[in-house]
Amino acid sequence: MSQINYISEDKIEEQLALCSELIPLIRARSETDAPLAFVDTYGCQQNESDSEQIRGFLSLMGCGFTTDEFLADIIVINTCAVREHAEMRILGNVGALNHTKKAKKGQIIAVCGCMVRQEHMEEKLKKSYPIVDIVFGPDEVWRFPELIMRLVKGRKRVFEVTRLDGSLFENLPRRRDSKLKAWLSIMYGCNNFCTYCIVPYTRGRERSRKPEDILMEAKELIASGARDITLLGQNVNSYGKDLGIDYDFADLIKDINALEGDFIIRFMTSHPKDAGEKLFKTMAECSKAAHHIHLPVQAGNNRVLKAMNRHYTREEYLEKVRLAREYMPDLVITTDIIVGFPGETPEEFEDTLSLVNEVRYDSMFTFIYSPRVGTKAAAMPDPLSRAEKQILCDKLTDAANTIPKEKHAEYVGRTVRVLVDGVNEGEEYNLSSRTKEGRLVHLKGCPEMVGSFAEVKITSSTTWALFGEISGQ
Ligand code: 5AD
Ligand code: SF4
């Protein structure tokens, strides 16, 4: 029996009311009329999206925002647990807040996100980081105001990390980082239990938002100026399976595509075992869907894939890539790869390298395996040293850089449609933009163009980006 905590509208209303009550209390504590908050985010886009909701609450509590820890009255560190390296960095940064807390009387320090959902990390923060006032897990974001209130009124540290199967809530306030680009969470959690991965333990079981809630949010986003919408989920291809209705991820793309307006639909992340013909066909048919798929392969050797519990073979993966490209010849494919999974031999790694050269990814993220407490892989024998794994990883990085360089060079002379999304202050190519497939294009033009679509002639390229001129200029 799954234990998902569905949060009612009334409960969210209570939290919103608490925000108003907190305004004078936070002011009094900060001894200023303009208290400031700093929300520092690590890890994936889901965390970025959660942080936007935390900022939404903080705004309603009367806070402005800063990135200076010494000025902040409230600091929230939203953590990631996917690899040890990130955790070490986070703990180092939390420790460094000793100085800011000494300098600023009444400063509130909260730590949340995936890292704290692990019991040993919650304990560590409790015992070794007394400067931390509030600790809350990813399922507690909806009651952030209540946690602040408990601290402000009770003066005792607040630890609130439930470890059920996850919570699902709607209508939280949100302070978006960008008007133009928007995250839109469609589902939470993961049921896949890849043997190396901590996410199913920190983010709980898969749960989908209702299509009507997602479509309503998409409409609001488009009306408020969003032109680039990324649908988020740990495995978007599982969308809808838990809803008990005959409606899947491809149906959702179709319905969002049908909304009025000129915008781009992206999504992250697809599990290769669940991505199939219906999705590729829908992407090809929907004019607003980006022809980009992030399809993490993780490894190219069948024994390793099985040990990772990925539920596909190298041959099945390659067949999906072939099929996807048949529907979308211009498809941009990106991936994640883990190097040095326990027991992976250098010979098995060669299969990953050959797969990479076969697929010719547009970009890839390569990670050296990092053991995570409580996962199956952490108990597997792991004979290769870190240095040996690094050598393999470097080989992969070389391949990762050569392919996009060649692919980008093929664009020179072509004209592409881009969404202008930023200003590169002081650079010769003073604007940045992206093609619908997500390729970065630097341009020369006036800053007023930010937020609009443009036709651009590509004049040169590097491994990382294309450079171009507005067509007709
Ligand atoms: N070690 C290294 N990389 C990992 N990833 C997930 N768990 C681990 C781990 N324990 C990588 C996977 C995943 C990406 C988000 O992080 O490649 O796709
Ligand atoms: Fe982790 Fe696998 Fe779930 Fe992705 S699909 S979040 S790698 S368990």
Residue-wise pLDDT tens digits, 61-78:
999 999 999 999 999 999
Structural contact between residues 158 and 152, judged by C-beta atoms closer than 8 angstroms: no
Of 334, 362, 172, nearest in space to 268 by CA: 334
Lookup: tokens for 127: 């015992």
* Contact residues for 88 (Cβ-Cβ < 8 A; gap 6+): none
Q: How many angstroms does the Cα of residue 389 sit away from the middle of ligand 2?
A: 22
Ligand 2 atom index nearest CA of 336: 7
The SS3 assignment for 21 reads helix
Q: How many angstroms does the Cα of residue 196 sit away from the middle of ligand 2?
A: 9
Of 355, 378, 350, 335, nearest in space to 81 by CA: 378
Minimum-distance ligand to the CA of 81? 1
The beta strand positions in 25-65, using DSSP E, are: 36-41, 64-65
Residue 418 backbone phi and psi in degrees, to 5: -130, 160
Interval 7-21 mean pLDDT:
97
Mean pLDDT of the chain: 95
* Contact residues for 317 (Cβ-Cβ < 8 A; gap 6+): 272, 295, 297, 355
Structural contact between residues 359 and 337, judged by C-beta atoms closer than 8 angstroms: no
Instruction: Name the residue of 235, 268, 274, 297 to mutate for ligand 2: max ligand atoms within 8 A of Cβ.
Output: 235
Ligand 2 atom index nearest CA of 82: 1
Ligand 1 atom index nearest CA of 365: 17
Ligand 1 atom index nearest CA of 336: 17
* pLDDT for the residue 250: 98
Lookup: tokens for 69: 């820890």
Strands 453-461 and 415-423: antiparallel
Q: How many angstroms does the Cα of residue 347 sit away from the middle of ligand 2?
A: 25
* pLDDT for the residue 332: 95
Instruction: Name the residue of 197, 341, 344 to mutate for ligand 1: max ligand atoms within 8 A of Cβ.
Output: 197
**Statement: residue 134 has pLDDT above 80:** yes
Ligand 1 atom index nearest CA of 196: 10
> What number of CA atoms fall less than 13 Å from residue 101's CA on the CB side?
15
* pLDDT for the residue 204: 95
Q: For residue 416, what are the β-bridge partners? A: 456
What is the model's pTM?
0.94
Label residue 472 by pLDDT band (50, 70, 90): low
Q: How many angstroms does the Cα of residue 163 sit away from the middle of ligand 2?
A: 18
* Residue that has been written with the tokens 């240095």 in this structure: 387
The Cα 185–Cα 231 span in angstroms is 6
Ligand 2 atom index nearest CA of 193: 8
**Statement: residue 361 has pLDDT above 70:** yes
The Cα 295–Cα 318 span in angstroms is 11
- Pocket lining: 310 vs ligand 1, CB cutoff 6 Å: no
Q: How many angstroms does the Cα of residue 199 sit away from the middle of ligand 1?
A: 9
- Pocket lining: 199 vs ligand 2, CB cutoff 6 Å: yes
Structural contact between residues 252 and 239, judged by C-beta atoms closer than 8 angstroms: yes
Of 116, 109, 122, 263, nearest in space to 184 by CA: 263
Of 336, 323, 315, 330, nearest in space to 275 by CA: 323
Ligand 1 atom index nearest CA of 298: 17
* pLDDT for the residue 164: 87
Say which range, 9-13, 107-111, 398-402, 465-469, has the weakest mean pLDDT.
Answer: 398-402
* pLDDT for the residue 94: 97
* pLDDT for the residue 347: 97
Q: What is the dihedral of CA 207, 208, 213, 218, to 10 degrees?
A: 120
Interval 104-110 mean pLDDT:
94
- Pocket lining: 201 vs ligand 1, CB cutoff 6 Å: no
Interval 278-307 mean pLDDT:
98
**Statement: residue 18 has pLDDT above 80:** yes
Name the residue with the closest Cα to ligand 1, atom 7. 197
Ligand 1 atom index nearest CA of 370: 1
**Statement: residue 295 has pLDDT above 70:** yes
- Pocket lining: 342 vs ligand 1, CB cutoff 6 Å: no
- Pocket lining: 308 vs ligand 2, CB cutoff 6 Å: no
Q: For residue 366, what are the β-bridge partners? A: 337
Q: How many angstroms does the Cα of residue 190 sit away from the middle of ligand 2?
A: 6
Q: How many angstroms does the Cα of residue 144 sit away from the middle of ligand 1?
A: 28
**Statement: residue 142 has pLDDT above 80:** yes
Instruction: Name the residue of 44, 83, 308 to mutate for ligand 1: max ligand atoms within 8 A of Cβ.
Output: 83
- Pocket lining: 370 vs ligand 1, CB cutoff 6 Å: yes
The Cα 93–Cα 38 span in angstroms is 13
- Pocket lining: 369 vs ligand 1, CB cutoff 6 Å: yes
183-240 pLDDT, tens digit per residue, is 999 999 999 999 999 999 999 999 999 999 999 999 999 999 999 999 999 999 999 9
* Contact residues for 24 (Cβ-Cβ < 8 A; gap 6+): none
**Statement: residue 473 has pLDDT above 70:** no
**Statement: residue 469 has pLDDT above 60:** yes
Name the residue with the closest Cα to ligand 1, atom 6. 197
- Pocket lining: 237 vs ligand 2, CB cutoff 6 Å: no
374-405 pLDDT, tens digit per residue, is 999 999 999 999 999 999 999 999 888 889 99
The SS3 assignment for 403 reads helix
Instruction: Name the residue of 293, 367, 368, 376 to mutate for ligand 1: max ligand atoms within 8 A of Cβ.
Output: 367
- Pocket lining: 192 vs ligand 2, CB cutoff 6 Å: yes
Structural contact between residues 353 and 310, judged by C-beta atoms closer than 8 angstroms: no
Lookup: tokens for 66: 């800063």
Say which range, 106-115, 169-178, 195-204, 290-299, has the weakest mean pLDDT.
Answer: 169-178
